[in-house]
Structure 1
């Protein structure tokens, strides 16, 4: 779901911005930062790229089917109207 290398990169950037006196705690700070980032990101309702792509394809197929059904309905309504406007045969 979340790219761990990206989290590591963000944590390193944050720890790299610390003053030199604080760098002694950089490893612990980096670990805590990763932990906090991971916890906060896991609360988000995210999907993987693969899931997103699959749902996009499902949506496209559904739209195609809907368009075909709308077209068919229009044809059926046109046929029904033409049949109802024809004069009835006398017996």
Structure 2
């Protein structure tokens, strides 16, 4: 998930898009952008990259087991049919 530094960097990039004539409002915007981004990210049901990788590996192992069992069943059915 994004940490506070990532959120601050994203908020700074958004503030840099504000026209120079509004320079005085830039700090307020930067704070507001950061808060809004942080709140939005907290509401999302996100997982860390590590959690995602663990689940991906678990799914791959499960898929391999299912395929092996499907082959075993097919072999048993073929043997029973003859």
Q: TM-score, normalised by structure 2?
A: 0.82
Q: Partner residue of 1:28?
A: 28
Q: Partner residue of 1:48?
A: 48
Structure with higher helix content: 2
More moved, 42-51 vs 59-68? 42-51
The verdict on how the C-alpha distance between 1:71 and 1:25 changes in structure 2, with shifts beyond 3 A counting, is same
Tell me which structure has the larger Cα radius of gyration. Answer: 1
Q: Partner residue of 2:76?
A: 76
Count of residues in correspondence between the two structures: 82
Deviation at 1:22, TM superposition (A): 2.7
Q: Does 1:14 align with 2:40?
A: no
Deviation at 1:3, TM superposition (A): 3.5
Q: Distance in 1 between matches of 2:15 and 2:72?
A: 62
Deviation at 1:76, TM superposition (A): 1.1
Large movers: runs of 4+ above 6 Å:
none
The gaps in structure 2 that reach 5 residues or longer are none
The gaps in structure 1 that reach 5 residues or longer are 83-91
Higher relative contact order (CA 8 A, sep 6+): 2
